[in-house]
Copies of this chain bind each other. A is one copy, B any other.
């Protein structure tokens, strides 16, 4: 049976990989098609317009396309599933950390996310589809591993053993990895992402399964892309984003020094980005609250984006001979304000999917863009991306960051070539710039390095990329946190960091615990259970012996609640009440002995609220024996235990609550995630200040 469970796990991971790959293929295909239709119709209108005076026509068409598409995306997000907004990475991070984020892995979220991101990217917003892909992978994983969809009311009656938080979390981490893997063609990077962001404990068999999922996902996408592009079974399409082929670059020590400087600059810019976006988010939380306001903001951004593009095209007027463009045959080249036989290279920055534009910035010939065009583009897009991240559409942050970074990286490269006089490899500088910018904003570490390494398919370039990422993170961390962490903290989620805060040693379990505690006796009356469940929101209750409700015992100046025997969960209590496992019922012991664990998980994850369980007045007088159901292995901690040791236990064992006992094994309190996460430590002038912050969820 254990063996069969293991096989099932592999099967689930296989399905997760395949579905994630297919979803990625679908998104990619739709985005490409929508963009192509849009750009070609604009190009046609521009080409028809000989005199240059009728350029308002394509502009209008451009406007309409964008606004309609973004309107669809934002309406969907605002009305159907608000949690699908943004990249979804903060939510997945919280989920993997052990926080229950409502509705984040539902099928409705998936559909909103997929359709929304197609419209948002197709609508020309400064967003990427990589972050949403990670979220999509996670939702797919959560759904597949449960063998049913509660929303759709379908239950395949399979994989029932995996209907618990821990199991589901493991699969979600596989899904997130599959998502990254499909998005960037980076199976190893995907595994690292999901380890870095979530599954804190490195369990070899779990990691191995996650890896399998990622690999299958890349392969599936590969095959799908091969079919779409007309080269079936040719496995050369790695991910949604493709950084193109980097030639064997031969960098020297001096280039690494430049990489360090670029890393520092990227860190500074990233910190600025995060700061502005933080302020903006605070503003939004206050003033942009209703759905219509949200949709309006999204449409505003949608309208502003082509304006910015149009202005850039108008003012920079960077024209190139159309015959010069040999590299990318797929690009839509529009002439706009240029002469016949020329095309506008600033328009080229917008007339393609953002992914393709990143590739252009990496690889196009040195002369393709003027410095001024790149400057305006980089700075304008920086603020545009900053404004865009947080509006009510599914939106990834990776591509805009890479775009901005690649643009200023290219500027650095051009400047170096001017100073040096020599020919330099521009793609080196734009890649380093892109990674520095991305690193400065998201502050991911080793996983980002590997993702970029895999996306570039070039290992030697890994070293400068690594260096710029390390420096960017160091510099950025001096000012603020990564953007995902900022958003998580703004939402007041009780997420636990990597290390316990440096709290004074006198902060012990006793000072952080919640007190008093509601406990149950080994044999408890139905009446009291129902009353407590209705009154208290807690999910776990200690089960004790020798406790008299009416005569509290004070030991060492602290109220105690009887000797600890085990812990019972709310869901177990509700199920017991539903199944009427009352001691007074005849034959109840036999029923209990035949009960299976699976029956308790049947209703997972949406347990019936206690209000819906009907208890007759007669039954209310009955009693329930909690002993056979309570968890006797539950983790306890002595009241004298330090904050750091409790924190480590919570973090490495992924706990949600821990019972605090005194030296007589009497319950005196309970520690939850919130109790640990509510502290904030700031250093100022060598002094440590501890503040409490608001935890909402």
Residue of B at shortest CB range from A251? B235
**How many residues of chain A get a CB closer than 8 Å to chain B's CBs?**
78
B-facing residues in A614-665 (Cβ within 8 Å): 632-633, 635-636, 638, 640-642, 644-645, 648-649, 652-653, 661-665
Interface residue? A315 (CB, 8 A): no
**Interface pair B458/A459, CB less than 8 Å apart:** yes
**Given known A-B contacts A187-B462, A638-B633, A663 and B211 have beta carbons under 8 A apart:** no
Interface residue? A487 (CB, 8 A): no
Among B2, B207, B457, point to the contact of A446 (Cβ < 8 A): B207
User: Chain B residues near A446 (CB, 8 Å)?
Assistant: 188, 191, 207-208, 211
How far is B636's CA from A691's CA once the two chains are assembled, in angstroms?
31
| Binary per-residue interface labels of chain A (247-259) against chain B in the complex, 1 for a CB within 8 Å, 0 otherwise | 0101111001000
How far is B207's CA from A446's CA once the two chains are assembled, in angstroms?
8
Among B188, B205, B207, B635, point to the contact of A450 (Cβ < 8 A): B188
**Interface pair A661/B665, CB less than 8 Å apart:** yes
Interface residue? A236 (CB, 8 A): yes
Interface residue? A516 (CB, 8 A): no
**Given known A-B contacts A205-B498, A219-B463, A235-B252, A663 and B633 have beta carbons under 8 A apart:** no
B-facing residues in A449-474 (Cβ within 8 Å): 449-450, 453-454, 456-460, 462-463, 466-467, 470
Among B203, B238, B638, B661, point to the contact of A499 (Cβ < 8 A): B203
Interface residue? A204 (CB, 8 A): yes
**Interface pair A453/B459, CB less than 8 Å apart:** yes
User: Chain B residues near A2 (CB, 8 Å)?
Assistant: 502
How far is B645's CA from A633's CA once the two chains are assembled, in angstroms?
7
| Binary per-residue interface labels of chain A (421-458) against chain B in the complex, 1 for a CB within 8 Å, 0 otherwise | 00000000000000000000000011001100110111
| Binary per-residue interface labels of chain A (199-239) against chain B in the complex, 1 for a CB within 8 Å, 0 otherwise | 11111110110011001001100000000000001111010
B-facing residues in A230-282 (Cβ within 8 Å): 233-236, 238, 245, 248, 250-253, 256
Interface residue? A675 (CB, 8 A): no
Interface residue? A32 (CB, 8 A): no
**Given known A-B contacts A252-B233, A648-B653, A653-B652, A449 and B204 have beta carbons under 8 A apart:** no
How far is B202's CA from A611's CA once the two chains are assembled, in angstroms?
41
Interface residue? A565 (CB, 8 A): yes
How far is B645's CA from A653's CA once the two chains are assembled, in angstroms?
10
Most chain-B CB neighbours within 10 Å: which of A199, A212, A218, A462? Answer: A462
How far is B454's CA from A661's CA once the two chains are assembled, in angstroms?
51
11 A-B residue contacts at CB 8 Å? A187-B462, A188-B446, A208-B470, A215-B467, A215-B470, A233-B252, A235-B256, A453-B459, A633-B642, A636-B636, A664-B664
